[in-house]
Amino acid sequence: MPLQIVTVPCLGDNYAFLVHSPETGETALVDAPEEFPISQALETRGWSLSHILITHHHGDHIDGLGALRAACGAQVIGAGADAHRLPKLDLAVGDGDSFDFAGQQVQVIDVPGHTIGHIAFYIAGAGAVFTGDSLMALGCGRVFEGTFDQMWASLSKLAALPPGTMVCSGHEYTAANARFAASIEPDNRDLQTRTAAIAKARADGTPTVPSMLAEELKTNPFLRAGLPGVKAILDMSDQPDAAVFAEIRTRKDNF
């Protein structure tokens, strides 16, 4: 039986995810923005947490962790590199590590940029990657601690996963991201189609997260910095991919 993935809206515009194995009964939480919506989502389903996975140290991804851990004693897994500023870890992981969850391999991918110790969790058996504030739906996290080069390298690693991968990211920023994306590629038909779908989903109160990697590759300007067409639009045809990414990210910061 496949793993079930549940999106849990938290705070104003955060998402946490529950990953549940009907076979073993285990449930993993990815990120803990706040306790209540998560404990409620667990209670409704009769699930209890066995694992808590943390993508990065920001409060809107960890502030609910203490209370959730106290309630269930789940194993907490996060980046060893950030252990000094994360809640106490039971398992410290780094790039290339993998661990077992309910008989499935969870692969750790180092994705620095937004923060230095930011990691993503890829579960090939579930066809899903949990990206926190690295790759987001139609966007990417602001580059706070790392460099543009690091963030570009991080996004490139995620972009190389199978296109059928579901991207479970940490925020509902998609409608604003769509407005920005249109400023970079106004003639991108796939982007226009996706923007219409996003507007409809938001009007219905439906989350736009998770998204599919294939769709991100066709529409997310931050993944498209290496394409000759995008470079030409920005008049940067002779520039390296990372420089084009830096230009797009800087424009977004000032959008």
Between CA 79 and CA 221 the distance in angstroms is 28
Site for Zn ion in 111-170 (CB under 5 A): 133
CB 181 within 8 A of CB 221: yes
Site of tokens 């739906």: 137
Handedness of CA 115, 184, 160, 21 (dihedral sign): positive
Range in contact with Fe ion (rule: CB under 5 A) among 131-139, 153-161, 177-185, 215-223: 131-139
Site of tokens 């851990």: 69
Would residue 171 show up in a list of annotated catalytic residues for this protein? yes
DSSP assignment of 195-229, as one string? HHHHHHHHHTT----SEEHHHHHHH-GGG-TTSHH
Range in contact with Fe ion (rule: CB under 5 A) among 78-86, 169-177, 215-223, 235-243: 169-177
Range in contact with Fe ion (rule: CB under 5 A) among 38-46, 66-74, 168-176, 203-211: 168-176
By CB under 5 A, residue 241 contacts Fe ion: no
Between CA 63 and CA 44 the distance in angstroms is 22
Per the residue annotation, which of 57, 61, 82, 241 is the catalytic one? 61
By CB under 5 A, residue 58 contacts Zn ion: yes
Nearer to Zn ion, 133 or 172 (CB): 133
Q: Which residues are catalytic?
A: 56, 58, 60-61, 114, 133, 171
Which residues in this chain contact Zn ion in the complex, by CB under 5 A? 58, 133
